[in-house]
Amino acid sequence: MELAAFVDRLDETLGTADYADLDASANGLQVGPDEGTVEHVAFAVDGVQETFEQAIEAGADVLVTHHGISWGGFDRVTGRTYDRIQPLIEHDLALYVSHLPLDGHQELGNAAGVADVLDLENRQPFGELGPEYIGQRGRVADSCSPTELRDQLESELETGGQSVQVLEFGPDEIEEVGIITGSGTDWLDEAVEAGVDALVTGEGKQKAYHEAREADIHVVLAGHYATETFGVRAVQERVESWDGDLETSYFEVPTGL
């Protein structure tokens, strides 16, 4: 498959253009030639030296990640920025990135993946960001305690050996759950307004403790990395379903954060 066709197809699938004015990440093709072909696609959560090396060793033509290397552009390509970009160019490895589009995609996104783990019903978009959404909310099939919710996430997520933390300030039984993966406590007010019993996210901020306590809502901190493995895995499955017999690889590099 031509690289340009591969990029166009992913952009269309993920709605990349819809987030162009909302995301600090330069979504889409961040590093790559104007012309090229794709036979082997690698996937990882983070676009970093370790995943670049693994993709190069696997013989991949393009690496698809959730977190890339360009957040608002570069002033200079020196130091660590140069060190990161050099192996991509040297080994002709393209880098495709999908940040917020892959958080908010209601079928393939990270929040949708966490919702699958929790078997949520009556799902709908959640986590407004301008005209778009970056999360999902829904109803637990059978109400559960905060401990049961935590245990379910710990059993299914790649937490790097770390425990899922719960700020237990909500009701004894959880029925409605809102999900913003990564760093999502800034949407706590929206969760309260929506009437959810628990907000599931990756990592928290200091102020979230008191905000959750005062609002009588649970906040579940399941790990930034752990909550954001679902999107790239779902995109890998989608790419494998395309015509063209593309080879794929997935690289797991958990941070425990």
* Strand (E) or helix (H) holding 247: strand 247-250
What is the token pair recorded at 153? Answer: 């996430």
Distances (CA, A) of 140 to 120, 147, 178, 225: 5, 14, 11, 23
> Do the beta carbons of residue 96 and residue 65 sit within 8 Å?
yes
Known binding residue 228? Answer is yes
State how far the Cα of 142 lies from the Cα of 176, in Å rounded to an integer. Answer: 10
CA triple 92-93-99, angle to 5 deg: 150
CA distances 248 to 205, 242, 251, Å, are 36, 12, 10
The strand order across the sheet containing 247-250 reads 28-31, 94-97, 62-67, 40-46, 247-250
Decide: 114 and 202 in contact? Cβ < 8 Å.
Answer: no
CA distances to 56, 100, 170, 209, 229 from 199, rounded to whole Å, are: 38, 18, 10, 12, 18
Report CA-CA distances (Å) from 210 to 188, 198, 214, 217: 11, 15, 6, 10
Known binding residue 224? Answer is yes
Q: Is 103 annotated as a binding residue?
A: yes
- Binding residues, by number, are 66-67, 103, 224, 228
- Binding residues for a divalent metal cation, by number, are 66-67, 103, 224, 228
